[in-house]
Structure 1
Amino acid sequence: MKKIVLLLLIGSVIGNDSFGQEDLPKDFSVLKVGKRVVVSWTHNFPSVKMISVQRSYDSSRYFQSIGAPPDPNLKDNGVSDPNPPNDSMYYRVYVLLEGSRYVMTKAKRPMVDTSGVEIPADVNTNNNPPPNTASFLPAGFTQSRYIFMTPDRYIRVELPMDSRKYDIKFFTESYQPLFELKGVKEKRFKLDRSYFYKAGYVNFELYADGKILEKYKLFLPKDF
């Protein structure tokens, strides 16, 4: 499965040296999930001292840090905002590099609209395992090709690249509702582990244009 990476957006670069296009951090996504907001990104810097997610009521001023990932050098990462004051907050990603240099993305508000290019989509009927199936999974358990756990313990979502409207519902092992993603815009993103409260199986239902595309489950290991 090819991993599709989003294009680059940079708000500003400040420091003694400039960076080539290949070094810029990838575009980040801001996704509203229930009452929470999930900010995720991909970068290709060889060495990062710190990454933090900042939030403000204003698009250009008064930003304050709301969280930082434990390991900033992970190429794919994210931070969740569990208690945003409202749905219109602005978010940006601050990256501190060696030599006191840093970059900041442009500010974004949470997005929920759908978009995409019309491409015929494959329907997953056999739950073919993604290429990152790992030893932390129970023997015999095969992950979904659409929603699965990665070796760095994040839940990865990879939807067909078409124009259909996608919704995802998550449930506990006993099928009690956890949260729902409606009108998912991003086709490639990950969910912060804080959305899932304990280890074990998590059931999910994936809908395309209101029709069930996949009904399956995730497995979250004890060290999740």
Structure 2
Amino acid sequence: MKWYVGYFRFPVLILLCSCLFQVALGQDTLPSFTAVRRTNNRVLISWTNPYGQKIRQLSIQRSKDSLRQFKSIMTLPDPVVLQNGYVDTRSPDTSQYYRLYILLDSGRYIFSTSRKPVKYIPPPPPPPAKKPEQQAPVTRKSSQAGVVPPRPVVTEEDRLREKLSAPEKAADKTTGKPSEKPSEKVPEIPPPVLPPKENNKPPVVPVTPPVVPEKIYQVKRGDTLKAPVRESLLKRFRDSVTLKTKDTMVSVINDTLIIRPFVPKETFKVSRYVFTDKTGLLHIELPDAATRNYKVRFYEEDKSFLFEVKDIRDQILLLDKANFHHAGWFLFELYEDGNLKEKNRFFIGKDF
């Protein structure tokens, strides 16, 4: 009994491992995501979007530490796609951590849990197909080997004729002469009228035209194969090709499409709350500062933190250029009662 238990234990373990592997490779739902390490330190980050059109910004951040020093490496131009991903080809080593920054249309933002990419394990190959068993050739036996030939079919008409002609045959056997009485002759029975035979022609089977398989295109972004797309679904990308609202698709060969992301020109709009004047002073103007709790956080252009101003109670607050140490672009985040109200930038020139 122990030998049979050990014999069936190995296939069960293989089936369990394959199921766990398929679950591990599935895309997680935001704010969770999947990070898989490929060859040459390339990291594939993918996710499923349950928020729909509510996402305004989605950025991918990377750090050597799982809690601090995260920097954005990619901000998606179209974050509302249902299933999306990004391949990090500039990862310095395999000890990096990744997380997602998600900004919703309500002003609320979410940081996902940091995650270290796992190694990609290809699925096991399918088992080989079993060969069909060969059947022994069927041989026919001759009639001399004791096979009885089929009996002839006797109809009701034959039986009736044999029954009526039986007395005449019995007289012939006893006397050896035919009967002399003409009255004893059996009248001939006309053949029965059989119903007309039905037309046994085979029914006409309509000939269906052959089914032409639908053409399938392979979509690639750079050197990465994204997914196969049927020809009937290419109409969804009509706006991306003509209006360039999403990734632009360019045909390379007959069955391959390559995606080149459309990068729109960045336009700058001056903030109505935080801005600089001609003299170089930074204005922070908040009309309802007396009834609200405001704070402003300032960053370098590379998103490194500088300082913050808390509990602003004045409607107009001026900051000198000496607080920023150099000229150039700076980023800021304005919070109202703990919620992000505005995220923008300003410029401090050299001549003021």
Report the TM-score when normalising by structure 2.
Answer: 0.30
Report the TM-score when normalising by structure 1.
Answer: 0.46
Pick the structure with more helix per residue.
Answer: 2
Pick the structure with more strand per residue.
Answer: 1
Structure of larger gyration radius: 2
